[in-house]
Structure 1
Amino acid sequence: MISKRKAFLGELIAECIAVFIIIIFGDSVAAMYTLYDPSPYKQAYWGVCIVWGLGVTIAIYVTGAVSGTHANPAVTLALAIFRNFSWKKVLPYWLAQVAGGFLGAAVVYTLFSPVIDHYAVAHSLDRLHDGVASGVFFTHPGDFVSPLHAFADEIILTAMLVMGIFAITCEYNTQAPQANSSALIVGLLVAAIGACAGYLEAWAINPARDFGPRLFCFLAGWGNTAIPGPLNYWWVPIAGPMAGGVLGAGFYQFLIRPFMPSAKRSA
């Protein structure tokens, strides 16, 4: 029998690995989109979205039985507030998730470093002042989007994500997919959000997905380009998703879940 301490360690390892997997797939497809000309994805943006989504799906299949695959501090916070996830585990989960993002970015950098260097030379850029890191590793506001507007966007998009996750995993929702297919639906939800709004600010919707790679880039030589980033942007992909996750979860818990027929019978 596994002790509670060992089981909790397994949960943290699983959360780290989950974000690690997501970043390896997601940042790699971002590199394919950004660094190659012609890009295989510039005219097929859905391919970028579906790779991010499938990264989430694979992460859930690999780690879900151990930790539940939060893989997102906003999801962990929402579960603690609305679904009795232990508050003692929240901060360790967040740290494990950020560590997974950091390690995933390190692997993506290992894969694509020659291409990054070539891109910088070809476009007369240097590492401290180029847009390569923000295009590959972490998010940034798109055309015509201010940081404050991006903050509002991230609240809305993450609310949609967490509302969907709460619906998909609700025990009273008879229309939710079964356990063995829910991972695919969550992945498709991530892909759909990216397809409809990804150009706004690269749809972070996950503080660990952004801050882990951003921290790696800060230490790897991008410096102020990563943290605090242009226009002091670094806080937006953290605060926006955190607020949005709570909003989306609350929306489902108070406006949808109480009216499920099976929930009313249980009450």
Structure 2
Amino acid sequence: MSSNSNDLVRQHTHDIELGVSDVLQRHITRHVVPAKPVSQRRLDFEHKRPRILREMMAEATGVFFYVFPGIASVASFTLATTNPVAAEIGVPIFGSLFQIGWAFAIGIAFAIITCAPVSGGHFNPAITICFAIWEGFPWKKVPHYIFSQIFGAFMAGMMLMACYWPEIQAAKAIDISQHGTTVYNGGVASILCVFPNADQTNQGYLFFMEFFVDSYIGIVIWACLDRANPFVSPQSVPFTIGIAYAVMVWGFAGNTISTNLARDLGTRIVAAIFFGKEAFTASNSYSWISILVNIPATIFATGYYEFLIRDSLQKIQQGHAEHKEGEEGLHRHISRVTGVDVANQAWDSNRGAMNSAEGVREKQF
């Protein structure tokens, strides 16, 4: 029996372990559906869509993809105390800070993979502002992006409330009966947005912690976006940024961190709708720290990278940027740094090459 016949026999008898790669490859090849041709009607429709609308929807969707799995993980962990199943199999199975960190990390990766090709994948008002400061992102688009990011987080919060409504109502009743409020760290309102621990009454300390954590994440993000960085490929960027966020969650979420204006403000509005204005006023109005600190922290982090770490010459040499004054400006810079007139050196090299070629021709003839 031929090899092809043996393969067919193995397929019919489900005994394919000897030729798995070959069989599966042929199977996939036989069942590939050709791509549907793109119609002119489709192209016309896509061309008529406003560019800014696509970018806004991508930013809102990306933030939703990042926030929703994160707060859903927080919900499963927090609401385990009101789940009757937890009494039988144990509360820890419903989650931990480790699980929550990974939920946010993978959510960030999915957000970048899904939406960054359209909008650039900011998903954070502080990053949008930093792009405007350092990378020439149009300032006129900044308000549109920030609004979309907050809206995406708001929709994530609303969707979570819809998914967990019975459990949240049960937990709310317990919180009110035992604590008189739902707005505290560990309370049902903290599923949506963060609140400091009961012993964290020093807002200077909370400011410092938030500033440091957000700066750490900001530097990693800016390093990942540095096109001259040889250690980060485009494929690894979503997961690298996500893990940087997760690391800070694992280290500091127990001490209260926010990290993102949109992620906090959007869900905090939802918390205020369902649990009252205490969502903004609790803990001596801590909310201003969780909402606003990440902007100056991220500006500081990206400035730190731009002034102390960035190598723009390497970026130019790799073809990812060009000198503002063109080749002449680049030659002048290299001449000042090396003490060598690059233009004259290039001319001398060309002239030497021509003289050598002329000498070869003379010998030939």
Paired residue for 2:66? Answer: 22
Paired residue for 1:50? Answer: 102
Q: Give 1:64-103 correspondences, 5 Å limit.
A: 64-103=116-155
CA distance in 2 between counterparts of 1:43 and 1:21 reads: 19
* Cα RMSD (Å): 2.3
Paired residue for 2:253? Answer: 198
CA distance in 1 between counterparts of 2:96 and 2:272 reads: 31
Say whether 1:13 aligns with 2:53: no
- CA shift at 1:56, angstroms? 0.7
- CA shift at 1:44, angstroms? 4.0
- CA shift at 1:143, angstroms? 5.1
CA distance in 1 between counterparts of 2:226 and 2:48 reads: 26
> Rg: which structure is higher?
2
Change (3 A) 1:78 1:185: same
Query: Could you tell me whether the CA contact under 8 Å between 1:101 and 1:212 is conserved in 2?
Result: yes
Query: Could you tell me whether the CA contact under 8 Å between 2:176 and 2:182 is conserved in 1?
Result: no
CA distance in 2 between counterparts of 1:155 and 1:262 reads: 30
TM-score of the aligned structures, taking structure 1 as reference length: 0.90
1:111-168, CA deviations, whole angstroms, 9 ceiling, x for partnerless residues? 1111111123344549982133442000112353333321221111111111111100
CA distance in 2 between counterparts of 1:232 and 1:215 reads: 14
Say whether 1:218 aligns with 2:262: no
Q: Give 1:123-134 correspondences, 5 Å limit.
A: 123-125=175-177, 129-131=181-183, 132-134=187-189
Say whether 1:188 aligns with 2:243: yes
1:19-59, CA deviations, whole angstroms, 9 ceiling, x for partnerless residues? 11122101111111211134336874211111111111111
Question: Which one-letter code corresponds to 1:252 in the other structure?
Answer: Y
Change (3 A) 1:103 1:85: same
Provide the secondary structure at the position in 2 that maps to 1:24. Answer: helix
Query: Could you tell me whether the CA contact under 8 Å between 1:60 and 1:69 is conserved in 2?
Result: yes
CA distance in 1 between counterparts of 2:158 and 2:149 reads: 14
Say whether 1:141 aligns with 2:185: no
CA distance in 2 between counterparts of 1:161 and 1:7 reads: 29
Query: Could you tell me whether the CA contact under 8 Å between 1:158 and 1:205 is conserved in 2?
Result: yes
Change (3 A) 1:163 1:118: same
Question: Which one-letter code corresponds to 1:75 in the other structure?
Answer: I
CA distance in 1 between counterparts of 2:156 and 2:120 reads: 20
Unmatched 5+ stretches in structure 2:
1-42, 82-89, 323-329, 331-365
Question: Which one-letter code corresponds to 1:136 in the other structure?
Answer: I
CA distance in 2 between counterparts of 1:123 and 1:129 reads: 6
Change (3 A) 1:92 1:128: farther
Unmatched 5+ stretches in structure 1:
none
Deviates further, 224-233 or 103-112: 224-233
Deviates further, 119-128 or 165-174: 119-128
**Which one of 163, 167, 178 corresponds to residue 111 of structure 1?**
163
Greater RCO, CA 8 A, separation 6+: 1
Provide the secondary structure at the position in 2 that maps to 1:215. Answer: helix
Paired residue for 2:13? Answer: none
**Which one of 139, 155, 158 corresponds to residue 211 of structure 2?**
155
Question: Which one-letter code corresponds to 2:304 in the other structure?
Answer: F
Change (3 A) 1:116 1:149: same
